[in-house]
Amino acid sequence: MSTLSVVSGVSCPVVSVAGTDPHLLAQFHGTTEFTVDMAGAPYLVRGCGSSLDGQVRFHEKDEVLGRDVRVWHVRELDGTFTAEHVAAF
């Protein structure tokens, strides 16, 4: 995982999912990883995603202990994929 600060409520472009270009939201389902462009720096998100109201709710996991770190919502609009960290309790 990166040491970049993750700001809630800011959409970041997804540059890859599981090492390939994103084409479908289904690529974010299950255990996988994706990379976002966070203000010009790559940030790798590893965890597990599931469908939620036309988007994917993705639980980022701690690499060592496997605990939830944060929740992301991944969306697609006109072929462009974005991910946004959301406060979820």
Give 32-48 pLDDT, tens digit per residue: 999 999 989 999 999 99
Q: Look up residue 23 and give its DSSP letter.
A: -
Look at residue 89 and tell me whether its pLDDT is greater than 70: no
Does some domain include residue 4? no
Does some domain include residue 3? no
The sign of the CA dihedral 14, 22, 71, 73 is: positive
Q: Which domain range does residue 77 map to?
A: 11-86
Q: What is the pTM of this model?
A: 0.88
Query: What does the mean pLDDT of the chain come to?
Result: 90
When divided into structural domains, the chain yields a total of 1
Residue 4: per-residue pLDDT:
72
Residue by residue, DSSP assigns 23-40 as --GGGGSEEEEEEEEETT
pLDDT band, residue 3 (cuts 50/70/90): low
Does some domain include residue 2? no
**Is 36 strand, coil or helix?**
strand
